[in-house]
Structure 1
Amino acid sequence: MLKRSQKIKWKYILTALGINLSAILIFFWAAYVFWDINPLSIENIAAFRTRNAPYFYTLNQLPTFIVYALFREVLFEEAWARGPAWLLINSKIKHRTKLSYAAIVILGAIWAKTHVLFWPVFAVGIIWGTVLIKTKSLWSAIVCHASANLFLYICIKFLQYFQFIY
């Protein structure tokens, strides 16, 4: 049985994952309806594929995707994008919570700039950073990030299967 503190950590993680999944769907809908942007256009998919080839790997290449996008990429990105906030929140310095949130926002913006879509990625980074601060665990952000990457891979496979994208 999980301890109370572990249950609370998983509550934060599952809440963040629910927000992630909802945010992805809302973003695609809003882009299409309000901004007249088709996220599934050939140009947008080509831009995403260029920078994120592993998400388009075949199911036969799933082990390679897991090693690259769920381990290597996630661990590296979380170490530099949210690692400093984790070090701050677990330190004994004064105002560590405020400093941790500042690190989450600043490094989250830099991290989001390395992705195709700035605002959705920035928002997700803030959510994962908040989970990290609430749980005081970098692993919580790693689980959220890896789960989001896996969900994105599954969505792309779904869209490919039904021939919305190639």
Structure 2
Amino acid sequence: MPFVVGRRIVVSQDVVLEAAMVSWLEELDRREAAAREEIAELREQIVELTRRLAEREDVLSRLQIMRETMTEILSGDETVSVAVAESDAGEAEMEEPRLPAGSPVGVRLVPHWTPELAVGVLPGSYRDIVEVLQDAVHPMRAHHLCAALGLSTDKS
């Protein structure tokens, strides 16, 4: 015998339970599918982020190595070792005698300025420039500075 429950007409309690179970199972299946889809998307993002992280770590590593190498080359305080690979594949790399440090292009690393930095830490040519500028009575243009240092300003 049919009866009314809320806005539904229930023919029998067995039919309502079966309809509720199917609806419940369908909703559970839908939610599981959505969760699996989200997990797949997150895994793809993890793969992409892992790849990007590895790339950035590689760039950072190369920059750190470059900083160390350039500091060693330009500092002039240490010696630089040069390893040369032999042309024979059977022989191991041999280390050449240590070379005097310093830049092969004549560049010297100058420390960052601080108020307590003494002029004596600068290379000789820098100290000369500072002395000329300290002795100047008026502001100097570049060609006046060069003349005071005994440098030629001819472009010919």
TM exceeds 0.5? no
Bigger relative CO (Cα 8 Å, ≥ 6 apart): 1
Q: What TM-score results when the alignment is normalised by the length of structure 1?
A: 0.19
**Which of structures 1 and 2 has the bigger CA Rg?**
2
Q: What TM-score results when the alignment is normalised by the length of structure 2?
A: 0.20
Larger helix proportion of the pair:
1
